Amino acid sequence: MAMLFARSRNLVSSLRQNLGLSAILIKRNHSSPRPVFTNYQLSSRVFLDPSTSFRHESTAVETQPDLVQQSDHEDDAQELDFPGGKVGYTSEMKFIPESSSRRIPCYRVLNEHGKIISDRDFIPVSEKLAVRMYEQMATLQVMDHIFYEAQRQGRISFYLTSVGEEAINIASAAALSPEDVVLPQYREPGVLLWRGFTLEEFANQCFGNKADYGKGRQMPIHYGSNQHNYFTVSSPIATQLPQAAGVGYALKMEKKNACAVTFIGDGGTSEGDFHAGLNFAAVMEAPVVFICRNNGWAISTHISEQFRSDGIVVKGQAYGIRSIRVDGNDALAVYNAVRSAREMAVKEQRPILIEAMTYRVGHHSTSDDSTKYREADEIQYWKMSRNPVNRFKKWVEDNGWWSEEDESKLRSSTRKQLLQAIQAAEKWEKQPLTELFNDVYDVKTKNLEEQEVGLKALVEKQPQDYPTGFHI
Protein backbone atom coordinates (compact mmCIF):
# COMPACT_ATOMS: atom_id res chain seq x y z
CA MET A 1 0.00 0.00 0.00
CA ALA A 2 2.71 2.41 0.99
CA MET A 3 4.55 1.53 -2.17
CA LEU A 4 1.49 2.29 -4.21
CA PHE A 5 1.17 5.68 -2.61
CA ALA A 6 4.80 6.35 -3.16
CA ARG A 7 4.32 5.45 -6.77
CA SER A 8 1.41 7.74 -7.19
CA ARG A 9 3.25 10.63 -5.65
CA ASN A 10 5.90 10.01 -8.22
CA LEU A 11 3.17 9.79 -10.79
CA VAL A 12 2.31 13.36 -10.01
CA SER A 13 5.77 14.76 -10.45
CA SER A 14 6.64 12.59 -13.38
CA LEU A 15 3.47 13.53 -15.18
CA ARG A 16 4.74 17.07 -14.89
CA GLN A 17 8.12 16.16 -16.24
CA ASN A 18 6.99 13.76 -18.89
CA LEU A 19 4.73 16.37 -20.29
CA GLY A 20 7.95 18.36 -20.57
CA LEU A 21 6.13 21.59 -20.38
CA SER A 22 8.01 23.16 -17.55
CA ALA A 23 10.85 23.52 -19.99
CA ILE A 24 9.31 26.73 -21.23
CA LEU A 25 9.76 29.61 -18.85
CA ILE A 26 6.67 31.20 -17.52
CA LYS A 27 6.69 34.65 -16.12
CA ARG A 28 3.46 35.36 -14.46
CA ASN A 29 1.95 38.59 -13.42
CA HIS A 30 0.03 37.85 -10.27
CA SER A 31 -2.64 40.43 -10.85
CA SER A 32 -3.71 39.09 -14.20
CA PRO A 33 -5.49 35.82 -13.92
CA ARG A 34 -5.25 33.48 -16.84
CA PRO A 35 -8.06 34.29 -19.18
CA VAL A 36 -8.67 30.87 -20.55
CA PHE A 37 -8.88 28.62 -17.56
CA THR A 38 -11.46 28.83 -14.85
CA ASN A 39 -10.94 27.80 -11.25
CA TYR A 40 -12.84 24.66 -11.91
CA GLN A 41 -10.16 23.43 -14.20
CA LEU A 42 -7.18 24.07 -11.99
CA SER A 43 -5.62 21.20 -10.14
CA SER A 44 -8.61 19.18 -9.13
CA ARG A 45 -7.55 16.51 -6.80
CA VAL A 46 -9.22 13.29 -7.55
CA PHE A 47 -9.78 10.71 -4.92
CA LEU A 48 -10.91 7.41 -6.20
CA ASP A 49 -12.86 4.84 -4.30
CA PRO A 50 -10.95 2.06 -2.54
CA SER A 51 -11.62 -0.38 -5.32
CA THR A 52 -9.14 1.38 -7.54
CA SER A 53 -5.56 1.32 -6.57
CA PHE A 54 -4.26 4.71 -7.35
CA ARG A 55 -4.85 8.34 -6.84
CA HIS A 56 -3.80 11.02 -9.23
CA GLU A 57 -3.86 14.70 -9.53
CA SER A 58 -4.85 16.28 -12.73
CA THR A 59 -2.01 18.68 -13.02
CA ALA A 60 -1.81 18.98 -16.73
CA VAL A 61 -3.63 22.27 -16.76
CA GLU A 62 -1.34 23.97 -14.27
CA THR A 63 1.78 23.26 -16.18
CA GLN A 64 0.56 24.18 -19.61
CA PRO A 65 2.88 26.74 -21.06
CA ASP A 66 1.84 30.26 -21.69
CA LEU A 67 1.57 30.71 -25.38
CA VAL A 68 2.98 34.20 -25.22
CA GLN A 69 5.95 35.17 -23.13
CA GLN A 70 4.81 38.03 -21.02
CA SER A 71 7.13 40.92 -20.39
CA ASP A 72 7.46 43.08 -17.34
CA HIS A 73 5.87 46.25 -18.62
CA GLU A 74 3.56 48.21 -16.42
CA ASP A 75 0.85 47.94 -19.04
CA ASP A 76 0.52 44.32 -18.08
CA ALA A 77 -0.89 45.29 -14.75
CA GLN A 78 -3.97 46.62 -16.48
CA GLU A 79 -6.75 44.42 -17.62
CA LEU A 80 -9.62 44.83 -19.92
CA ASP A 81 -12.98 43.25 -19.58
CA PHE A 82 -14.19 41.43 -22.63
CA PRO A 83 -17.21 39.17 -22.96
CA GLY A 84 -14.96 36.16 -22.65
CA GLY A 85 -13.34 37.41 -19.45
CA LYS A 86 -10.43 39.58 -18.43
CA VAL A 87 -7.49 39.92 -20.77
CA GLY A 88 -4.21 41.57 -19.97
CA TYR A 89 -2.58 44.22 -22.11
CA THR A 90 0.76 44.21 -23.73
CA SER A 91 2.39 46.90 -25.77
CA GLU A 92 4.59 44.32 -27.31
CA MET A 93 3.25 43.13 -30.61
CA LYS A 94 4.06 39.48 -30.60
CA PHE A 95 2.56 36.79 -32.73
CA ILE A 96 2.11 33.38 -31.26
CA PRO A 97 4.50 31.14 -33.19
CA GLU A 98 2.97 28.65 -35.59
CA SER A 99 4.60 25.88 -33.65
CA SER A 100 6.14 25.35 -30.30
CA SER A 101 9.94 25.21 -30.11
CA ARG A 102 9.64 21.64 -29.00
CA ARG A 103 7.16 19.02 -30.07
CA ILE A 104 4.99 17.54 -27.36
CA PRO A 105 6.77 14.35 -26.29
CA CYS A 106 4.87 11.12 -26.06
CA TYR A 107 4.38 9.17 -22.91
CA ARG A 108 5.82 5.71 -22.89
CA VAL A 109 6.40 3.07 -20.27
CA LEU A 110 8.21 0.30 -22.11
CA ASN A 111 11.23 0.79 -24.30
CA GLU A 112 11.60 -0.97 -27.63
CA HIS A 113 12.99 -4.02 -25.89
CA GLY A 114 10.04 -4.39 -23.62
CA LYS A 115 11.73 -3.04 -20.54
CA ILE A 116 10.12 -0.63 -18.17
CA ILE A 117 11.82 2.72 -18.50
CA SER A 118 10.79 4.05 -15.15
CA ASP A 119 8.48 3.07 -12.36
CA ARG A 120 7.11 6.53 -11.97
CA ASP A 121 3.81 6.89 -13.79
CA PHE A 122 2.94 3.36 -14.24
CA ILE A 123 -0.18 1.68 -13.02
CA PRO A 124 0.79 -1.87 -12.24
CA VAL A 125 -0.87 -4.45 -14.42
CA SER A 126 -1.55 -7.86 -12.93
CA GLU A 127 -0.34 -11.07 -14.53
CA LYS A 128 -3.87 -12.08 -15.38
CA LEU A 129 -4.57 -8.82 -17.10
CA ALA A 130 -1.22 -8.72 -18.88
CA VAL A 131 -1.58 -12.24 -20.21
CA ARG A 132 -5.09 -11.59 -21.38
CA MET A 133 -3.95 -8.42 -23.10
CA TYR A 134 -1.17 -10.24 -24.87
CA GLU A 135 -3.42 -13.10 -25.92
CA GLN A 136 -5.91 -10.73 -27.37
CA MET A 137 -3.24 -8.79 -29.25
CA ALA A 138 -1.97 -12.02 -30.76
CA THR A 139 -5.52 -13.16 -31.55
CA LEU A 140 -6.16 -9.89 -33.31
CA GLN A 141 -3.04 -10.41 -35.38
CA VAL A 142 -4.07 -13.91 -36.40
CA MET A 143 -7.63 -12.80 -37.11
CA ASP A 144 -6.43 -9.98 -39.33
CA HIS A 145 -4.13 -12.29 -41.21
CA ILE A 146 -6.72 -15.00 -41.84
CA PHE A 147 -9.54 -12.66 -42.81
CA TYR A 148 -7.23 -10.74 -45.11
CA GLU A 149 -6.32 -13.98 -46.84
CA ALA A 150 -9.98 -14.96 -47.03
CA GLN A 151 -10.67 -11.75 -48.90
CA ARG A 152 -7.77 -12.43 -51.24
CA GLN A 153 -9.28 -15.82 -51.94
CA GLY A 154 -12.55 -14.17 -52.82
CA ARG A 155 -14.47 -15.59 -49.91
CA ILE A 156 -15.34 -12.21 -48.42
CA SER A 157 -15.71 -9.05 -50.41
CA PHE A 158 -13.60 -6.70 -48.33
CA TYR A 159 -11.42 -6.47 -45.24
CA LEU A 160 -9.28 -3.99 -43.38
CA THR A 161 -6.57 -4.88 -40.88
CA SER A 162 -5.34 -3.24 -37.70
CA VAL A 163 -1.80 -4.51 -38.13
CA GLY A 164 0.59 -2.32 -36.19
CA GLU A 165 -2.19 -0.93 -33.99
CA GLU A 166 -2.84 -3.93 -31.79
CA ALA A 167 -1.64 -2.15 -28.68
CA ILE A 168 -4.06 0.72 -29.16
CA ASN A 169 -6.90 -1.66 -29.84
CA ILE A 170 -6.43 -4.00 -26.92
CA ALA A 171 -4.81 -1.84 -24.28
CA SER A 172 -7.43 0.90 -24.61
CA ALA A 173 -10.21 -1.63 -24.35
CA ALA A 174 -8.57 -3.19 -21.30
CA ALA A 175 -8.48 0.19 -19.59
CA LEU A 176 -12.20 0.81 -20.01
CA SER A 177 -15.17 -0.58 -18.17
CA PRO A 178 -17.77 -2.61 -20.06
CA GLU A 179 -20.34 0.15 -19.46
CA ASP A 180 -18.28 2.69 -21.36
CA VAL A 181 -19.93 3.24 -24.72
CA VAL A 182 -17.57 2.86 -27.65
CA LEU A 183 -18.08 4.70 -30.94
CA PRO A 184 -15.41 3.31 -33.28
CA GLN A 185 -14.13 4.56 -36.61
CA TYR A 186 -13.35 1.20 -38.23
CA ARG A 187 -9.85 0.14 -37.25
CA GLU A 188 -10.74 -0.89 -33.71
CA PRO A 189 -12.15 -4.41 -33.86
CA GLY A 190 -9.77 -5.27 -31.03
CA VAL A 191 -11.98 -3.28 -28.66
CA LEU A 192 -14.90 -5.48 -29.62
CA LEU A 193 -12.74 -8.57 -29.39
CA TRP A 194 -11.68 -7.63 -25.87
CA ARG A 195 -15.29 -7.18 -24.83
CA GLY A 196 -16.18 -10.71 -25.85
CA PHE A 197 -17.26 -10.64 -29.48
CA THR A 198 -16.40 -14.12 -30.75
CA LEU A 199 -14.43 -15.02 -33.85
CA GLU A 200 -17.60 -16.61 -35.16
CA GLU A 201 -19.50 -13.37 -34.73
CA PHE A 202 -16.78 -11.47 -36.59
CA ALA A 203 -16.92 -14.01 -39.39
CA ASN A 204 -20.70 -13.84 -39.60
CA GLN A 205 -20.61 -10.12 -40.16
CA CYS A 206 -17.93 -10.45 -42.80
CA PHE A 207 -19.99 -13.01 -44.65
CA GLY A 208 -23.28 -11.19 -44.06
CA ASN A 209 -25.01 -14.45 -43.29
CA LYS A 210 -28.20 -15.05 -41.37
CA ALA A 211 -26.40 -14.90 -38.04
CA ASP A 212 -24.93 -11.45 -38.70
CA TYR A 213 -26.40 -8.99 -36.21
CA GLY A 214 -26.21 -6.34 -38.90
CA LYS A 215 -28.40 -8.54 -41.11
CA GLY A 216 -26.06 -8.45 -44.05
CA ARG A 217 -26.69 -4.85 -44.85
CA GLN A 218 -23.17 -3.48 -44.64
CA MET A 219 -19.74 -4.31 -45.96
CA PRO A 220 -17.41 -6.50 -43.89
CA ILE A 221 -15.72 -5.01 -40.80
CA HIS A 222 -18.78 -2.84 -40.08
CA TYR A 223 -19.30 -4.58 -36.79
CA GLY A 224 -21.70 -3.43 -34.10
CA SER A 225 -23.02 -4.91 -30.91
CA ASN A 226 -25.39 -3.28 -28.47
CA GLN A 227 -24.67 -6.07 -26.04
CA HIS A 228 -21.04 -5.00 -25.94
CA ASN A 229 -21.78 -1.26 -26.00
CA TYR A 230 -20.03 -0.95 -29.35
CA PHE A 231 -21.84 1.26 -31.83
CA THR A 232 -22.10 -0.07 -35.37
CA VAL A 233 -19.26 1.05 -37.60
CA SER A 234 -20.15 3.40 -40.42
CA SER A 235 -17.87 4.25 -43.30
CA PRO A 236 -18.12 8.07 -43.25
CA ILE A 237 -15.15 9.45 -41.38
CA ALA A 238 -15.48 11.27 -38.06
CA THR A 239 -19.29 11.28 -37.98
CA GLN A 240 -19.07 9.43 -34.68
CA LEU A 241 -17.30 12.29 -32.91
CA PRO A 242 -20.22 14.67 -32.31
CA GLN A 243 -22.36 11.63 -31.63
CA ALA A 244 -19.91 10.61 -28.92
CA ALA A 245 -20.39 14.02 -27.33
CA GLY A 246 -24.13 13.35 -27.26
CA VAL A 247 -23.60 9.87 -25.84
CA GLY A 248 -21.32 11.27 -23.17
CA TYR A 249 -23.89 13.89 -22.30
CA ALA A 250 -26.57 11.23 -22.02
CA LEU A 251 -24.38 9.26 -19.60
CA LYS A 252 -23.73 12.43 -17.64
CA MET A 253 -27.44 13.12 -17.32
CA GLU A 254 -28.07 9.57 -16.21
CA LYS A 255 -25.25 9.98 -13.69
CA LYS A 256 -23.73 6.76 -14.88
CA ASN A 257 -20.25 5.67 -13.90
CA ALA A 258 -19.37 5.48 -17.55
CA CYS A 259 -18.08 7.58 -20.36
CA ALA A 260 -18.19 7.63 -24.14
CA VAL A 261 -15.02 6.55 -25.89
CA THR A 262 -14.52 7.29 -29.52
CA PHE A 263 -11.74 6.64 -32.01
CA ILE A 264 -10.49 8.54 -35.02
CA GLY A 265 -7.47 8.41 -37.28
CA ASP A 266 -5.09 11.23 -38.13
CA GLY A 267 -6.94 11.85 -41.38
CA GLY A 268 -10.29 12.04 -39.67
CA THR A 269 -9.16 15.01 -37.60
CA SER A 270 -9.34 17.14 -40.70
CA GLU A 271 -13.08 16.59 -40.95
CA GLY A 272 -15.49 19.24 -39.71
CA ASP A 273 -17.02 16.66 -37.40
CA PHE A 274 -13.75 16.55 -35.44
CA HIS A 275 -14.07 20.22 -34.65
CA ALA A 276 -17.79 19.82 -33.94
CA GLY A 277 -17.27 16.81 -31.70
CA LEU A 278 -14.51 18.26 -29.55
CA ASN A 279 -16.09 21.65 -29.24
CA PHE A 280 -19.45 20.24 -28.22
CA ALA A 281 -17.91 17.83 -25.74
CA ALA A 282 -15.98 20.67 -24.15
CA VAL A 283 -18.85 23.13 -24.00
CA MET A 284 -21.33 20.55 -22.76
CA GLU A 285 -18.76 19.20 -20.30
CA ALA A 286 -19.45 15.69 -21.49
CA PRO A 287 -17.44 12.68 -20.29
CA VAL A 288 -15.87 11.62 -23.58
CA VAL A 289 -12.45 10.15 -24.26
CA PHE A 290 -11.32 10.97 -27.80
CA ILE A 291 -8.60 8.59 -28.94
CA CYS A 292 -6.81 9.56 -32.10
CA ARG A 293 -4.77 6.82 -33.76
CA ASN A 294 -2.11 8.84 -35.51
CA ASN A 295 -0.75 6.10 -37.75
CA GLY A 296 0.88 8.38 -40.27
CA TRP A 297 -1.33 7.61 -43.26
CA ALA A 298 -4.85 8.29 -44.47
CA ILE A 299 -4.91 5.84 -47.33
CA SER A 300 -2.09 7.36 -49.39
CA THR A 301 -2.06 10.76 -47.73
CA HIS A 302 0.83 11.20 -45.39
CA ILE A 303 0.32 13.35 -42.30
CA SER A 304 2.52 16.06 -43.81
CA GLU A 305 -0.32 16.51 -46.30
CA GLN A 306 -2.98 16.34 -43.64
CA PHE A 307 -2.12 19.12 -41.21
CA ARG A 308 0.65 21.54 -40.33
CA SER A 309 0.24 21.39 -36.59
CA ASP A 310 2.26 19.30 -34.18
CA GLY A 311 -0.05 16.39 -34.68
CA ILE A 312 -3.37 16.28 -32.95
CA VAL A 313 -2.51 16.63 -29.30
CA VAL A 314 -1.94 20.38 -29.58
CA LYS A 315 -5.44 20.84 -30.92
CA GLY A 316 -6.96 19.77 -27.64
CA GLN A 317 -6.06 22.96 -25.86
CA ALA A 318 -7.71 24.99 -28.60
CA TYR A 319 -10.98 23.47 -27.46
CA GLY A 320 -10.22 23.65 -23.79
CA ILE A 321 -9.63 19.93 -23.65
CA ARG A 322 -6.97 18.25 -21.60
CA SER A 323 -4.77 16.18 -23.89
CA ILE A 324 -1.89 13.74 -23.91
CA ARG A 325 0.34 12.23 -26.53
CA VAL A 326 1.16 8.59 -25.99
CA ASP A 327 3.37 5.98 -27.66
CA GLY A 328 0.60 4.00 -29.33
CA ASN A 329 2.83 0.96 -29.80
CA ASP A 330 3.43 0.67 -26.07
CA ALA A 331 0.59 -1.33 -24.63
CA LEU A 332 1.31 -0.31 -21.06
CA ALA A 333 1.48 3.38 -21.92
CA VAL A 334 -1.80 3.18 -23.77
CA TYR A 335 -3.34 1.30 -20.91
CA ASN A 336 -2.16 3.84 -18.35
CA ALA A 337 -3.19 6.84 -20.37
CA VAL A 338 -6.64 5.55 -21.22
CA ARG A 339 -7.22 4.44 -17.68
CA SER A 340 -6.35 7.88 -16.33
CA ALA A 341 -8.25 9.64 -19.05
CA ARG A 342 -11.33 7.60 -18.36
CA GLU A 343 -11.19 8.34 -14.65
CA MET A 344 -10.84 12.04 -15.30
CA ALA A 345 -13.64 12.02 -17.81
CA VAL A 346 -16.04 10.30 -15.46
CA LYS A 347 -15.06 11.96 -12.20
CA GLU A 348 -14.66 15.44 -13.55
CA GLN A 349 -17.26 15.17 -16.29
CA ARG A 350 -15.02 16.53 -19.00
CA PRO A 351 -13.64 15.35 -22.34
CA ILE A 352 -10.06 14.15 -22.72
CA LEU A 353 -8.03 13.84 -25.91
CA ILE A 354 -5.42 11.14 -26.38
CA GLU A 355 -3.18 11.08 -29.41
CA ALA A 356 -1.67 7.61 -29.81
CA MET A 357 1.35 7.66 -32.12
CA THR A 358 1.65 4.53 -34.21
CA TYR A 359 2.10 3.22 -37.73
CA ARG A 360 -0.31 1.59 -40.09
CA VAL A 361 1.66 -1.47 -41.11
CA GLY A 362 -1.02 -2.94 -43.32
CA HIS A 363 -2.51 -1.42 -46.41
CA HIS A 364 -5.45 0.87 -45.85
CA SER A 365 -7.71 -2.04 -46.85
CA THR A 366 -7.88 -4.92 -49.27
CA SER A 367 -8.63 -2.36 -51.97
CA ASP A 368 -5.28 -0.71 -51.43
CA ASP A 369 -1.66 -1.51 -52.24
CA SER A 370 0.37 0.81 -50.05
CA THR A 371 3.66 -0.04 -51.74
CA LYS A 372 2.45 2.29 -54.45
CA TYR A 373 2.93 5.34 -52.24
CA ARG A 374 5.39 4.33 -49.57
CA GLU A 375 8.65 2.43 -49.36
CA ALA A 376 8.47 -1.27 -48.69
CA ASP A 377 11.47 -0.77 -46.39
CA GLU A 378 9.52 1.61 -44.25
CA ILE A 379 6.70 -0.87 -43.85
CA GLN A 380 9.13 -3.63 -43.05
CA TYR A 381 10.92 -1.55 -40.44
CA TRP A 382 7.75 -0.83 -38.51
CA LYS A 383 6.55 -4.35 -38.89
CA MET A 384 9.67 -5.93 -37.49
CA SER A 385 11.47 -3.45 -35.26
CA ARG A 386 8.59 -1.41 -33.94
CA ASN A 387 6.08 -4.17 -33.54
CA PRO A 388 3.79 -3.48 -30.57
CA VAL A 389 2.90 -7.12 -30.07
CA ASN A 390 6.50 -8.26 -29.84
CA ARG A 391 7.37 -5.41 -27.55
CA PHE A 392 4.66 -6.27 -25.08
CA LYS A 393 5.41 -9.94 -25.45
CA LYS A 394 8.95 -9.34 -24.26
CA TRP A 395 7.73 -7.63 -21.13
CA VAL A 396 5.23 -10.38 -20.39
CA GLU A 397 7.83 -13.05 -21.02
CA ASP A 398 10.36 -11.27 -18.87
CA ASN A 399 7.93 -11.45 -16.02
CA GLY A 400 7.72 -15.16 -16.52
CA TRP A 401 4.09 -15.01 -17.48
CA TRP A 402 4.36 -16.30 -21.03
CA SER A 403 6.34 -18.97 -22.81
CA GLU A 404 7.02 -20.09 -26.35
CA GLU A 405 4.81 -23.06 -25.74
CA ASP A 406 1.94 -20.80 -24.77
CA GLU A 407 2.68 -18.82 -27.90
CA SER A 408 2.51 -21.66 -30.36
CA LYS A 409 -0.52 -23.13 -28.63
CA LEU A 410 -2.35 -19.85 -28.80
CA ARG A 411 -1.49 -19.12 -32.40
CA SER A 412 -2.34 -22.54 -33.71
CA SER A 413 -5.60 -22.88 -31.81
CA THR A 414 -6.70 -19.38 -32.80
CA ARG A 415 -5.85 -20.07 -36.39
CA LYS A 416 -7.79 -23.30 -36.31
CA GLN A 417 -10.75 -21.62 -34.67
CA LEU A 418 -10.75 -18.90 -37.26
CA LEU A 419 -10.59 -21.28 -40.19
CA GLN A 420 -13.50 -23.19 -38.73
CA ALA A 421 -15.41 -19.99 -38.11
CA ILE A 422 -14.91 -18.94 -41.70
CA GLN A 423 -15.96 -22.29 -43.04
CA ALA A 424 -19.05 -22.29 -40.90
CA ALA A 425 -19.93 -18.69 -41.71
CA GLU A 426 -19.58 -19.39 -45.41
CA LYS A 427 -21.97 -22.29 -45.25
CA TRP A 428 -24.47 -20.55 -43.03
CA GLU A 429 -27.84 -19.72 -44.44
CA LYS A 430 -28.25 -16.33 -46.03
CA GLN A 431 -30.51 -13.59 -44.73
CA PRO A 432 -34.14 -13.89 -45.83
CA LEU A 433 -35.09 -11.43 -48.53
CA THR A 434 -37.52 -9.67 -46.24
CA GLU A 435 -34.57 -8.24 -44.30
CA LEU A 436 -33.87 -6.00 -47.25
CA PHE A 437 -37.04 -4.12 -46.32
CA ASN A 438 -37.05 -4.28 -42.52
CA ASP A 439 -35.64 -1.67 -40.16
CA VAL A 440 -35.70 1.21 -42.64
CA TYR A 441 -38.28 2.48 -40.20
CA ASP A 442 -39.43 0.87 -36.98
CA VAL A 443 -42.43 -0.49 -38.89
CA LYS A 444 -42.44 -1.30 -42.61
CA THR A 445 -44.17 1.48 -44.51
CA LYS A 446 -46.69 1.00 -47.33
CA ASN A 447 -44.31 1.83 -50.12
CA LEU A 448 -41.84 -0.74 -48.81
CA GLU A 449 -44.54 -3.38 -48.51
CA GLU A 450 -45.50 -2.76 -52.11
CA GLN A 451 -41.92 -2.91 -53.27
CA GLU A 452 -41.35 -6.13 -51.39
CA VAL A 453 -44.36 -7.75 -53.02
CA GLY A 454 -43.19 -6.55 -56.41
CA LEU A 455 -39.65 -7.80 -55.90
CA LYS A 456 -40.72 -11.18 -54.64
CA ALA A 457 -42.94 -11.67 -57.66
CA LEU A 458 -40.09 -10.71 -59.93
CA VAL A 459 -37.61 -13.05 -58.25
CA GLU A 460 -40.04 -15.93 -58.42
CA LYS A 461 -40.65 -15.24 -62.07
CA GLN A 462 -36.99 -14.92 -63.06
CA PRO A 463 -34.86 -16.61 -60.42
CA GLN A 464 -31.93 -16.98 -62.81
CA ASP A 465 -31.31 -13.22 -62.62
CA TYR A 466 -30.78 -13.27 -58.89
CA PRO A 467 -28.31 -14.93 -56.49
CA THR A 468 -29.57 -18.08 -54.83
CA GLY A 469 -30.03 -18.88 -51.20
CA PHE A 470 -32.10 -15.89 -50.15
CA HIS A 471 -35.25 -17.32 -48.72
CA ILE A 472 -38.31 -15.49 -49.97
Query: Which listed residue (56, 228, 363, 364) is catalytic?
Result: 364
Residue at 425: amino acid letter: A
Selecting among 149, 285, 407, 452, the annotated active-site residue is 149
Asked if 410 touches another protein (CB under 8 A), the answer is no
235 is catalytic: yes
Regarding 231 and contact with another protein (CB under 8 A), the answer is: yes
User: Out of 53, 157, 235, 367, which one is annotated catalytic?
Assistant: 235
Q: Which of 148, 197, 207, 249 binds another protein (CB under 8 A)?
A: 249
Per-residue contact string for residues 159-178; x = within reach of another protein by CB under 8 A? --------------------
The dihedral through the CA atoms of 182, 185, 190, 193 has a sign that is positive
Contact between 134 and another protein per CB under 8 A: no
CB of 441 to another protein, least distance (A): 5
Residue 195 within binding range of another protein, rule CB under 8 A? no
> Does residue 364 carry a catalytic annotation?
yes
Residue 243 found at the interface with another protein (CB under 8 A): yes
Per CB under 8 A, which region of 80-88, 92-100, 235-243, 409-417 contacts another protein? 235-243
Does residue 51 have an active-site annotation? no
Burial 429-452 (b: 16+ CB within 10 A, else e): ebbeeebbebeeeeeeeeeeeeeb
Rg (alpha carbons) of the chain, rounded to whole number: 25
Q: Nearest approach, Cβ of 449 to another protein (angstroms)?
A: 11
224 lies in the site for another protein, by CB under 8 A? yes
Q: Does residue number 213 form part of the binding site for another protein (CB under 8 A)?
A: yes
Asked if 365 is an active-site residue, the reply is: yes
Where in 425-464 is the site for another protein (CB under 8 A)?
Answer: 438-442, 445-447
- Interface with another protein by CB under 8 A: which range of 57-65, 123-131, 268-276, 298-306? 268-276
The residues, any chain, with a CB within 8 Å of residue 358's CB and separated by 6 or more, are 164, 165, 167, 168, 293, 294, 295, 296, 328, 329, 388
Q: Does 253 bind another protein (CB under 8 A)?
A: yes
CA 356 to chain centre: 8
Residues numbered 278 to 317 that lie near another protein (CB under 8 A) are 279-280, 283-284
Q: Whose Cβ is closer to another protein: residue 142's or residue 241's?
A: 241
Smallest distance, another protein to C-beta of residue 1, A: 38
275 is a site residue for another protein (CB under 8 A): yes
Contact residues for another protein, defined by CB under 8 A: 181, 183, 212-215, 217-218, 222, 224-226, 231-232, 234, 236, 239, 241-251, 253-254, 260, 272-273, 275-277, 279-280, 283-284, 438-442, 445-447
Residues that are catalytic: 149, 235, 364-365
